[in-house]
Amino acid sequence: MAQQPQLHFPILIFTSIFVISFSSFIRPPHPFDPLTESEFKLIRNIIKKKYPVGPTHRFTFQYVGLNEPDKSGVLSWHLSLHHNVTPPPRQAFVIARENRKTREIVVDFSSRAIVSDIIRVGHGNPMLTIDEQEVATELVLKFKPFRQSIRRRGLEVSEVVVTSSTMGWFGEKDTDRLIKTIPFYLNGSVNTYLRPIEGMTIIVNLEKMKVTTFKDRFMGPLPKANGTEYRFSKLKPPFGPTLKNSIFLQPNGPGFKIDGHVVRWANWEFHISFDVRAGLIISLASIFDIDMNKYRQVLYKGHLSEMYVPYMDPSEDWYFITYLDCGEFGCGQSAVSLEPYTDCPAGAVFFDGIFAGQDGTPTTISKAMCIFEKNAGDIMWRHTEAEVPGLEITEVRPDVSLVARMVTTVGNYDYIVDYEFKPSGAIKMEVGLTGVLEVKPVEYVHTSEIKEDDIHGTIVADNTVGVNHDHFVTYRLDLDIDGTENSFVRTELVTKRTPKSVKTPRKSYWTTNRKTVKTEAEARVKLGLRAEELMVVNPNRLTKHGNEVGYRLFPGPVSGTLMAHDDYPQIRGAFTNYNVWITLYNKSEVWASGLYADRSQGDDTLAVWSQRNREIEKKDIVMWYTVGFHHVPCQEDFPTMPTLSSGFELRPANFFEQNPVLKTKPIKLSSAPKCTPKNGY
């Protein structure tokens, strides 16, 4: 008999702080467990035997991750009692470069052998490695014409930092592995991105590892270092606002349990993993139904698929800045170590992230992900009943949730990626944008001085324009609502005139027009164009009242692309042409921008897959949702940007027979510490 999960409420007090940090786990045989350090070493050794590196033989690891196991095999293992079914074979998928060719290699761990090895043919290039970007920027710093140009500007080479930028694609037939590099000047500042040195075009060929294009086109103004400091130890009074420290203490320990990478909390169970491209991955999320006395499937796998960041300045120094962050730089590769107490609160448990460096050697990001309980003072549900004569009833339940978090810093922006699980059955996905603006130098310090028709942004400091841009964060959500055979339902809210047969003064009302979508083309949604509700349902599972069990999408603020569809960056980023897509499950369709995003040509994206217009009714389907931001910078974004967040929520809709948290036990007040309010607070 299944054991009913319990929900533990944290108690708010002022006391000491503790952090539990896990850097490694004794791993149960779970098909979705991330590759371990020893597995990365084994992969490297197996491949190096076949492809030894030498003076005339260059071999680099561009991506190493878990080879997606067969879904039916995973579910058979997962749903079996005590996991007594043999799990699918554990394998690694490797994308490598060998002497200017791209290889796709599959390594099987049980046989310790390469079971597939093909040369990839097609557009686009693999994800960039940290190593090759560092070598490229060092080349530029040593490049004599570049050093001369820096000195000609009256600047010190020792104070210059060079960063890498992808090239994009603008119709070229030749798409070699090239990157552009952008110089910045420190000299009194550590806020690198706020002091760009414009006027130079610098291109590095990553295969030849040499500067192949250098043009010093003009010398422009340089933003000042004053006002760019953000380190607290270097800032000067006045300070503020002052925030009082408050933390949660759970006398009986945290309300969640971790078994390897499986997390159990309240009525939820899910698996957490890490990938060098996606970062944090949530898999096999199931919720316990007290009426059925069992866990029920909700989400097979969910993660970031792409982050598309096009800037809105078509000038020579800016037109190519149209990043595909996950596909070009790796959202996992760019993950940063989380700071206990601040990035994650007291009581958080941390997971390391491990990925392969360019030579295949494992690299560890300590504390790359965290799990913690969140009590923000929200109310789960309440009701006051005062209409019963002689009786007043008040029932309130505080809301507590469980958050899985990662922060990925891709260049100047820090992205806070949260997956929040609620006892009500809801899953909330949220991304927070913070960090530093990408700016361009101008001669202006005041708007009255502007001469051009369009400066493509906002003056945020002296000689500094924060450039207009977008952020489109696309999630891949393989929902399995009570099983794999699901349908997508669009329910339009339609205004009706009151029939003459109704003898009341009302003239109108709205009703619903429900449509089960048949094909992928019908499932492309631009949010905000009409009033409608979107659901993924299981038509084979009905409530006792005859409703199809399902989960409803609650969108956040809606922003869609404003770029022309024939513009080259938007051809590559066509997966943002709609806010919501539904596609037939295909384990090879994972990355919305395509498997090879760098310098890609838009011929292997979500938009292309959807054009196949496959049937999706009563099928295994995948939802793709894009969170969008149009960012017109303002002075408050300088020198660092307060976090701007957006997201969406998946909520049960006729999934349960009634409110699943109705019987949540209230807090026992006698167990809470007594705090005396001071000064009326």
Enzyme catalytic residues? 325, 413
Strand partners, 103: 96, 119
Strand, coil or helix: 234: helix
Strand partners, 274: 280
Residue 392, Ramachandran bin (φ over 0: left; ψ between -120 and 50: alpha; else beta): beta
Residues contacting residue 75 through CB under 8 Å, at least 6 positions apart: 300, 484
Write the burial class of residue 227 (CB in 10 Å: 0-12 exposed, 13-18 middle, 19+ buried): middle
What is the C-alpha R_g of the chain? 27
**N-to-C CA span, the chain:** 48
The pair of structure tokens assigned to 376 is 């923000």
Instruction: List, as one string, the DSSP characters of 73-94.
Output: HHHHHHHSGGG-SPPPPPEEEE
Write the burial class of residue 438 (CB in 10 Å: 0-12 exposed, 13-18 middle, 19+ buried): buried
Residues 314, 320, 324, 328, Cα dihedral to 10°: -170
The pair of structure tokens assigned to 143 is 């490049």
φ, ψ of residue 128 in degrees (nearest 5)? -75, 145
Identify the DSSP state of 32: T
Residue tagged 């491949």 (tokens)? 47
The pair of structure tokens assigned to 587 is 């384990």
Under 8 Å between Cβ of 149 and 215? no
Instruction: List, as one string, the DSSP characters of 502-515.
Output: S-SS--EEEEEEEE
* Residues 681, 678: Cα–Cα separation, whole Å: 5
Residue of 546, 558, 519, 517 whose CA lies nearest to 534: 517
Strand, coil or helix: 548: strand
Maximal C-alpha separation, the chain: 91
Strands 279-289, 464-467: parallel, antiparallel or unpaired by DSSP? unpaired
Q: C-alpha angle 599/601/607, rounded to 5°?
A: 125
Under 8 Å between Cβ of 378 and 399? yes
Cis peptide before 241 (omega within 30 of 0): yes
Identify the DSSP state of 523: G
* Residues 168, 175: Cα–Cα separation, whole Å: 9
Strand partners, 118: 104
* Residues 253, 347: Cα–Cα separation, whole Å: 8
Residue of 466, 403, 481 whose CA lies nearest to 647: 403
Residue of 294, 293, 325 whose CA lies nearest to 308: 325
